[in-house]
Amino acid sequence: MNPNHLVEVIPGLYQIRLQVPIRSLGYVYAYFVRSNEDNLLIDTGWPSKDTFFELETSLAEIGVSLRQIRTVVISHLHPDHFGVAEQIKDLAPNSKLVIHRADAALILDDYDEYKGFVSELHVWLSEHGTPPEELQAMLDASTEMLNYFRPPKPTTIVSGGEILRVGDKWNFEIIPTPGHTIGTICLYERMSKVLFSGDHVLPTITPNVSLGPYYKGDPLGDYLESLDRVNELDVDLVLPSHEFVFSNLKKRVIEIKRHHDERLNDAMSVLEKGSDYGPMSGYQVASKLKWHSGEWGALGAWERRAAVMETLAHLEYLKRNRKIAEVREIKNGKPQIKYALIL
């Protein structure tokens, strides 16, 4: 196997590269902290046999078996992070599985719960202007995903602020950083000035921040506040879940904030240009914005759904900051939510 799958970043702390069968992601990093009786794994990769094998063989290179893992922390409830958590627990039945309270509340345990979730999403996307023919394709994309899932069953629920002690050397503080998901956490080690940033802060790309039926409220507002929260920490090394390890956290925080400012301005100018035709739905605004994955017409169902939800997070933020107003209409007996500029 490729020896670069496992890299010792600092003594006792390893990065493990795991393949993800989604082209846009490519791979995800898990991190392993070695401390004999206390071994810690942060994230577990995509739910697949290949991931399990990659983890197993990578750790075997340093003489560690998955049975020797004491704690698994899931940075947030996305499949490329919680992937094989349950399979690891099968091997190490006394290990802890740590997830934030807000994400743990969203774990879907069975197919009925999943169906309920999908139909709620269906209604919600429709209210926000998604044409019926596209809705079906978006929902089919969700059903395909389901086949891979084995929902994680956390043994330890955290709220943020707790310290996870690993051996004598490491004390990882759990930093709540909602935004990418409502229960995203980062881990901070004060002595070594290391931040495990998960998907919260990545070196060149920005995580999806989405409004949806399972993240109501103000996801973008939360995300920007969470950037401030990590920005206050004294950090030398940022260990993200994608791309590469980097060090200048403060510079990156400024860049990400600028990116969201630009997206907010873009959404405002779409509403301004479209104002001749009346208020616009989240779907309509999304279809007029630029997306780095391509032109609107070329985006697949999965990407379009992500784009609509991301746009709505920005519209919700603008609404809360009194730049735009929400307009509710009834069309063919069904509620429709639209947005208009406030002058």
Q: Which residues bind Zn ion (CB under 5 A)?
A: 78, 199
Nearer to Zn ion, 20 or 318 (CB): 20
Give the nearest distance from C-beta 42 to Zn ion in angstroms: 14
As a whole number of angstroms, the distance between CA 156 and CA 154 comes to 6
Per the CB < 8 A criterion, the answer to whether 16 and 62 are in contact is no
Percent of the chain that is helix, strand, coil (3-state, to 5)? 40, 25, 35
Q: Looking at this protein, which amino acid is placed at residue 147?
A: N
Q: Which candidate, 154, 166, 137, 167, places its Cα nearest to that of 300? A: 137
DSSP codes of every residue in 13-64:
EEEEEEE-SSTTT-EEEEEEE--GGG-EEE---SSSHHHHHHHHHHHHTTT-
Nearest distance in Å: CB 220, Zn ion = 16
Output 39 or 226, the one with its CB closest to Zn ion: 226
User: What is the number of the residue whose Cβ is closest to Zn ion?
Assistant: 78
> Closer to Zn ion at the Cβ: 103 or 189?
103
Smallest distance, Zn ion to C-beta of residue 195, A: 16
Instruction: State in angstroms the smallest separation of the CB of 62 from Zn ion.
Output: 27
Nearest to 189 by CA among 291, 73, 269: 73
What is the per-residue DSSP string for 309-341?
HHHHHHHHHHHHTTSEEEEEEEETTEEEEEEEE
Q: Which is nearer to Zn ion, 78 or 89 (CB)?
A: 78
Q: By C-beta, is 199 or 218 nearer to Zn ion?
A: 199
Nearer to Zn ion, 43 or 127 (CB): 43
- Which two three-digit tokens encode residue 318? 């603008």
Provide, rounded to whole angstroms, the least separation between the CB of residue 29 and Zn ion: 12
Q: How far is the CB of 180 from Zn ion (least distance, A)?
A: 6
Nearest to 95 by CA among 164, 195, 171, 13: 164
Closest CB 78 distance from Zn ion, rounded Å: 4
Q: Alpha-carbon distance 160 to 234, whole Å?
A: 18
Choice between 78 and 122, CB closer to Zn ion: 78
